[in-house]
Amino acid sequence: MEKQQKGITRKDFLKGMGTTIAGVTVLGGMGSVLAGCEDSAVVDTANASSPEWPFPYQKLDGEKVAERAYNAYKEKGG
């Protein structure tokens, strides 16, 4: 008995990759659709208080801002 090797053609490979990518894209988008159906996603806007807009201007200390940014960069890993 002679063994025949099954090979995959370039056309079959590309067709399979296209199908895989399309499936991943569709399934990846389903998470956001399903998350919108949850009850926790519903916001009670009647009782919510919104901040005053535009926000009042506050002068910032440059050294404190630089230190805070540096520390955030180091703690969060950039």
Q: Are 52 and 58 in contact (CB under 8 A)?
A: no
Work out whether the CA dihedral 19, 35, 38, 43 comes out positive or negative.
Answer: negative
Reported pTM:
0.35
Per-residue pLDDT, averaged over 18-38, amounts to: 80
Mean pLDDT of the chain: 81
